[in-house]
Amino acid sequence: MNFKRLYLSIIELADRLGPLLFASCCLATSYAHSVLCALSTYCLPLTHVRTRRAVCPTAYCLLLTAYCLPSSGAVLAQEPFQAPALVWKVKLKGPILSPPAVHEGMLYIPMSNQKLYRMDVRNGRYEDISKVNGVASLTPQVYAGRLFFMLDGQPKKDRRMLAAFDLKKKKTLWQKPLLNTWSTPLLHETTLYTGAEDGYVYAMDIETGDTRWRFQTKRRIRSSPVISDSLLFIGSDDNHLYALHTETGRLVWSFETGGSILAAPAVADDAVYTVSYDQNLYCLDQHTGKLRWTFKANGSLYAAPVVSSYRILLGSNDRNLYCLDARTGRLFWRYETGGIIRATPVLHEDVVYMVSSDRHVYAVDIVTGRVLWQYETEGSITVSPVIVDHTLLVGSEDRHIYAFRKSGM
């Protein structure tokens, strides 16, 4: 059992239930004093790592009831972090421009040399499965044996295409002109959603590429869309975050920030979080667009935020990774790297894996912000890492993909 996660969950529960449970919990723990002393050795230091507040008596009682009573002889111990080991690295013939698509233990990597690679996560072996007519610089989408991706850099500078590719037959099924170099298409059911440089949000049929609906903003779109329930959220260079109905493209609400919105928003519970070029992270009500709180970093924000439980993680051009309370925007901790952070971190249990332009990949404790492990590559890292089949995969501008693995990942 991960005691640290149990501890944080109980602190949150105790904070909500308050003193009502205090008496009942104490009645259930007649021998609490001796065990409480043992728990204090572990728990009290955690109150100094910027948890929401100091441990209250109710929380102690809940800890004792939930953890100690089932087995009076239980030994409380935090599982030690096991540093990932490099299991393979593979050099490709060009830089990795975006996170690969993942499907059934395979990576699909459109390369800058107009090649499409399929790589086995287990050993890094890859094959060239096709030549594509252009450069694919955005993460593809995989569905029913088909790969959907954007192509640019074709003979005419302004000619860019959204393409569907059959992985089994290794041939292009269709291509549709679309001016888009930034917004990663999102596959939802039988529709592809994406933004474009003409300022439109498009919903396109995956069978034909035909447009089902489109919605016009006032400037180009570089943000990628996300969907929650029946709402699609996407930002624009017109400084607005838009909430659109997925079936019709109808505007539900919009919210104006102080700068362009370049990254995909994040959604959790009933909130949507978006970053802006004005250096602010905004927390909005998902259904109304009403502002709940803001947090200002010390640099521009390009990376999409990540939400885990009641914590939100945010990378910045000021070289910091921030960990905030997702409910209030209060800062829990920050960690400064040696370079800007433009990639979205990934989470595995209580560990945050992030990359920086300082060439490093980091593992950071989500509770304390303490660096548990780091590894230096030979190039800047601006592409988000992925975790597949217990393997952490990192693409570097040194043209390598690095694979790390540890027991428990």
**pLDDT for res 111:** 76
Asked whether residue 337 carries a pLDDT value surpassing 50, the answer given is yes
Q: Quick one: which of 158, 237, 155, 231 has its CA closest to 195?
A: 237
Asked whether the predicted pLDDT for residue 257 surpasses 80, the reply is yes
Distances (CA, A) of 294 to 54, 326, 393: 24, 10, 32
The predicted structure's pLDDT at residue 178:
87
Exposure b/e, 244-261, CB count within 10 A at least 16 = b:
bebeebeebbebebeebb
Tokens matching residue 124 = 């890094």
Alpha-carbon distance values, 225 to 61, 185, 195, 203, 305 (Å): 44, 7, 7, 11, 13
Mean of pLDDT values over 332-339: 95
Q: Quickly count: other Cβ atoms within 10 Å of residue 227's Cβ.
A: 18
In this predicted model, what pLDDT tens digit does every residue of 112-150 receive, in sequence order? 777 788 899 999 999 888 776 667 777 889 888 898 988
pLDDT range class, residue 156, cuts 50, 70, 90: low
pLDDT band at 100 (very low <50, low <70, confident <90, very high): confident
Per-residue confidence (pLDDT) for residue 197, from 0 to 100: 92
**pLDDT tens-digit profile of 44-97?**
334 333 333 344 444 444 444 443 333 333 333 456 888 899 999 999 887 777
Q: Which residues contact 399 (CB under 8 A, 6 or more apart)?
A: 91, 92, 93, 94, 95, 96, 379
- pLDDT above 90 covers a percentage of the chain that reads 54
- Predicted confidence at residue 11, as pLDDT, reads 46
Residue 140 pLDDT: 86
Gap between the Cα atoms of 384 and 183, Å rounded: 15
Query: Quick check: 62 and 25 in contact, CB under 8 A?
Result: yes
More confident residue, 136 or 261: 261
Q: Fold for domain 84-91+305-409? A: Lipocalin (2.40.128)
The residue to which tokens 């205090």 are assigned? 22
* Whole-number pLDDT of residue 280: 96
**Cα separation of 372 and 408, whole Å?**
15
- Mean pLDDT, residues 191-195: 95
Q: From residue 41, give the alpha-carbon distance in Å to each of 51, 72, 156.
A: 17, 17, 67
Calculate the alpha carbon distances from 62 to 5, 16, 74, 274, 348 in Å: 14, 12, 16, 35, 26
Confidence bin at 328 (pLDDT 50/70/90): very high
**Confidence band for 295, pLDDT divided at 50, 70 and 90:** very high
| Residue 346 pLDDT | 94
Task: Give the pLDDT of residue 395.
Answer: 92
What pLDDT does 62 receive?
46
How does pLDDT run across 34-46, given as a tens digit for each residue? 343 344 333 433 4
What is the pLDDT averaged over residues 165-180? 87
Name 333's bridge partners. Answer: 323
Cα angle, residue 98 at apex, residues 239 and 319 outer, rounded to 5°:
65
Mean pLDDT along residues 320-347: 95
pLDDT class of 308 with cuts at 50, 70, 90: confident
Position 158 scores a pLDDT of: 56
**Burial class of 396 by CB neighbour count within 10 A (0 to 12, 13 to 18, 19+):** buried
Backbone angles phi, psi at 7, to 5 degrees: -60, -50
Q: Which residue has the higher pLDDT, 21 or 332?
A: 332
All residues at 6 or more sequence positions from 166 whose CB lies less than 8 Å from its CB, including other chains: 145, 146, 172, 173
* Domain range list for the chain: 3-68, 84-91+305-409
Q: Which of 1-10, 196-205, 300-309 has the lowest mean pLDDT?
A: 1-10
Two tokens at 201? 């949000």
What is the distance, to the nearest Å, from the Cα of residue 252 to the centroid of all Cα atoms in its chain? Answer: 25
Average pLDDT value over all residues in the chain: 81
Name the pTM for this structure.
Answer: 0.79
- The residue among 136, 145, 225 whose CA lies nearest residue 175 is 136
Question: pLDDT > 70: what percent of the chain?
Answer: 77
* Most confident among 27-31, 167-171, 175-179, 273-277 (mean pLDDT): 273-277
Q: What is the pLDDT of residue 159?
A: 62
Quote the CA–CA distance of 231 and 283 in Å, as a whole number: 16
Higher-confidence position of 166 and 7: 166
Mean pLDDT of 95-117: 83
Here the contacts of 56-59 (C-beta below 8 Å, separation 24 or greater) are: 56/14, 56/15, 57/19, 57/22, 58/14, 58/17, 58/18, 58/19, 58/21, 58/22, 58/25, 59/10, 59/11, 59/14, 59/15
Q: Which residue has the higher pLDDT, 50 or 203?
A: 203
Residue 3: how many other CB atoms lie within 10 Å: 16
pLDDT at 266 over 50: yes
3-state secondary structure 227-277: EECCEEEEECCCCEEEEEECCCCCEEEEEECCCCCCCCCEEECCEEEEECC
pLDDT higher than 80, residue 154 = no
